[in-house]
Structure 1
């Protein structure tokens, strides 16, 4: 492969910065580059500056290489110098943005090679609402900050070829033509590694071809959600009956969301529970049509189809135990850590149960009996309310969680289910009362359910914000823009965990309501 670097450029070292997180093989990639350069008779060295765990920073691997000249060995730098880096490889899209902020990507010098996939930072995940950074800002900066960019989803490409992203990044580097080495030299470095050679070569070759093609992937803030149309049959009588109800009792526009809803609820509980969901959705659709909902595109029923399913599939102890003991989860974890077939993987979960969850899992009468006796409740809480590290790969802990997940058939008798259904009923009553008088506000009331998610403390905080947002409904009922204001309250509630933005928004509503 011909080099795109001119001969005078080799009078100084070629500098390469690699930004990668744990498990992405950044160290392997750096080793491949160094080994390849040395096999070609060059002098090369690599260093690394570790990032912080829990996805708050990437490790920066730095490689410099130079062909010896006149028998003299070069002096190579240990760190990337802003404004003097030839190639930057970012194993995650926002890391490409951070490399530009650090100044190691420059428009007169740097070829930027980046994967478009996202691995969200702690700061993005901790937001109650959508805290994800906007990747379009990075896209816009590409044309200004870098001399050349090669951007596509290297993570997905590597997974399709049974490898990890480092192999795809190495292929993209080869396809960029920025190093004066042919394809054989790159492949020789992979073969010399001795592990996962075939899969690495497949991913390398696919990425090389993609980089040579030069067509970037489209970058979006969020992956597009796929809501397929409900099929006519899946070959199982009970499930086919649910599908038949969607096709016969509801307009086609509601079909995809209702289909997603029944899939979620059958998985959460059973077919009978999914039928209860369709019963409620059908009754609410009738009210929607009676309130001239057709003129609004049945927006109320669209929201009901989504948020009613979420409300009925609440997170409880049984659900958590079920998800943590599924074979699909163990396979996903093995895939994420890149475990081989002959390797054992043990997952350690951190769990901090409270007496509230214990009572919620009991039959309603028994759970209520214990909660009403404060002394007994506090005594039992001393033994329950503590953090535990649970190794789900061991027989003891797996069996314990599996037994909890087996309580699913009893869920309808539990105290938690009784309370959740009462809360759902009150929420729907508020919405249906408003439907004939303020359609937009009623629709927005349904949408407030997005504030409630998770379990334990997370669920309690969300429910508290939900109640505070709905407290503004009487002040908005007579306003034509009441629905828009309620949506603003939801956004404010999602803005921060402590609810300061919500306090301000509620104060504004009270000011014009008085």
Structure 2
């Protein structure tokens, strides 16, 4: 935009922040500081979409005091923009790493002009959370984009600095802006804007100081990408892949795997599972022991030690088919992971148990910064469906209610608005405690019998396939990945799993059957409506059915 005084232009700042992070307060501080220094300043905001699909964009323009007289007949005040223009933003402040990436994508942050100040923490977007597979955006790629897409990048975990000071991220980001030295104001002028606001001044100044110091340090660099191995390192936590590609992550996991394999395995499962731990250490391949121990702990917590014995018996069927037990033992390792995940399917009993765990409530207190002795309330929003209720009931009763149109209508009417349970109240905690104590009744429930039959049928197919095609058997075991969540999500996953298992029988007669099934599994995880999987199944229908020599 052309200046009202030749040779002068406004300072443009875009702030991308989510609700509750003080983005508006940060914009107000900047405007107040500019006006105090004689600048003409204004800030506007464009609200983002709810549920973390986009942050609110706060936009600040500050026009410096004129150096000379305005042109004859010109305006006495400049006309400032109300929204950032791509390619015309001097400073971008992002409260989260993905928002920094979005600023670059939208053209607000450019390498020829923009100083990018971003917090490196992650708050996962809804699109990342609802993905059937691992939908997380690679933080390493976001860091690479931040360095490439900005003239200067200042990054650190400003959220952690704010929490350390019992403040909000806006204060630490304001300190980062001051420490960047890109604005013509002193540190004292920044701090005066905070003091003049009169709200939470001490904690805000403490977070400001930490942010100021962090801005003086070099920004984090992307982790160099190592050459990808043929297989991933053995994961150290059931149900979760390694979160990064760095060599440090792989090295740490490999070291832990070796430590578990060469020391007493019982320390990972507790005193109640010593017999199972000894069995893991003597009957199973070394590469799979870390995963097996975690599977033992998980199944015992979910049900009881006898259920853990059943888990080990199932994995042992596939361990017996390992061609090289001293090697990678991929089939046993994947079975150890996925059998445990399936056997610990999510039902109302398990949900209730997780809600009232002491460690979980302690974690909530720590996250909320509750002081010792300070009262805290935790409210859970629950929306039970008819299937979740009938699946928990004894088989006959559950099957009868599931087939009753009247009961379905009644439950739908009673639960259509959901329910809120105060986990920390006597009534709410007791309700969930009673539900969690129903674990001994789980083996008699409708869903338990159905799940056990499905697990055995799945393993029977993997065992029958392993003799002829080891790699295909591994892929069959990994198909359990599509079984996730509960309600409609689990229903869609079950439909996709059924199609994958049916396709495995067809693919057994094709060359490269294992890679083909892996592609179908990836397609099943690509979307919830199954369109990608359907397209993948259609693509293999006309392939030859004779396996190559």
Q: Which interval holds the TM-score relative to the shorter structure?
A: 0.7 to 0.9
| Matching residue of 2:533 | 502
Task: Measure the CA separation in 2 of the matches of 1:236 and 1:18.
Answer: 49
Work out the CA distance in 2 between the residues paired with 1:424 and 1:195: 58
Q: Distance in 1 between matches of 2:463 and 2:38?
A: 77
**Residue 20 in 1 paired to residue 24 in 2?**
no
SS at match of 1:302: helix
CA deviation after TM superposition for structure 1 residue 39, in Å = 4.9
Q: Give the equivalent residue in structure 2 for 1:4.
A: none
CA contact (8 A) 2:165 2:203 kept: yes
TM-score normalised to structure 2 length: 0.80
Deviation of 1:41 (Å) = 5.3
Q: Is the 8 A contact 1:16 1:85 kept in 2?
A: yes
8 Å Cα contact 2:86-2:106 kept in structure 1: yes
| Matches of 1:303 and 1:248, distance apart in 2 | 19
Deviation for aligned residue 1:138: 4.4
One of 442, 464, 476 as aligned partner of 1:445: 476
CA contact (8 A) 2:379 2:420 kept: yes
Q: Which has the higher contact order (CA 8 A, sep 6+)?
A: 1
* Alignment CA distance shift 1:334-1:29 (3 Å): farther
**Shift in CA distance, 100/215, structure 1 to aligned 2, threshold 3 Å:** closer
The answer to whether structure 1 residue 467 and structure 2 residue 498 are counterparts is yes
Residues in 1 aligned to 2:528 and 2:177: alpha-carbon distance in whole angstroms: 42
CA distance in 2, matches of 1:236, 1:145: 50
Per mean C-alpha deviation after superposition, the further-off stretch among 456-465 and 256-265 is: 256-265
Match of 2:52 among 42, 45, 55: 55
Judge conservation of contact 2:285–2:329 (CA < 8 Å) in 1. no
Report matched runs for 1:272-311 at 5 Å. 272-285=306-319, 287-289=320-322, 292-294=323-325, 297-311=328-342
**Residue 144 (structure 1) shift:** 4.9
Q: From the superposition, tell whether residues 283 and 187 of structure 1 become closer, same or farther in structure 2 (CA, over 3 Å).
A: farther
Aligned pair partner of 2:153 in 149, 154, 160: 149
Corresponding position of 2:243: 223
What's 1:3 paired with? none
1:388 is aligned to: 417
Do the aligned partners of 2:479 and 2:521 also contact (CA within 8 Å) in 1? yes
RMSD of equivalent CA atoms: 3.3
Map of 2:347 onto structure 1: 316
Q: Distance in 2 between matches of 1:244 and 1:194?
A: 63
In the alignment, which of 288, 296, 306 is matched to residue 254 of structure 1?
Answer: 288
CA contact (8 A) 1:15 1:85 kept: yes
2:238 is matched with none
Query: Which one of 207, 216, 229 corresponds to residue 211 of structure 2?
Result: 207
Pairing of 1:325-344 with structure 2 (within 5 A):
325-326=356-357, 328-329=359-360
TM-score by length of 1: 0.85
Tell me the alpha carbon deviations over residues 349-378 of structure 1, each in whole angstroms, 9 at most, x when there is no partner.
150411x2222111224323544xx4xx21
Q: Alignment partner of 1:117: what SS?
A: coil
What is the DSSP-based 3-state SS (H/G/I as helix, E as strand, rest coil) of the residue aligned with 2:216?
Answer: helix
Structure 1 395/475 Cα, relative in aligned 2: closer, same or farther at 3 Å? Answer: same
Among 486, 497, 508, the alignment partner of 1:455 is 486
Q: Write out aligned runs for 1:356-435 (5 A).
A: 356-371=387-402, 374=403, 377-385=404-412, 386-393=415-422, 396-435=427-466
Give the C-alpha shift of residue 204 in structure 1.
3.2
Residue of structure 2 aligned with 1:46, choices 43, 57, 70: 43
Aligned residues: 499
Structure 1: state its 5+ residue gaps: 1-7
SS at match of 1:432: helix
- Partners in 2 of 1:184 and 1:9 — Cα distance? 30
**Unaligned segments of structure 2, at least 5 residues:** 70-75, 226-240
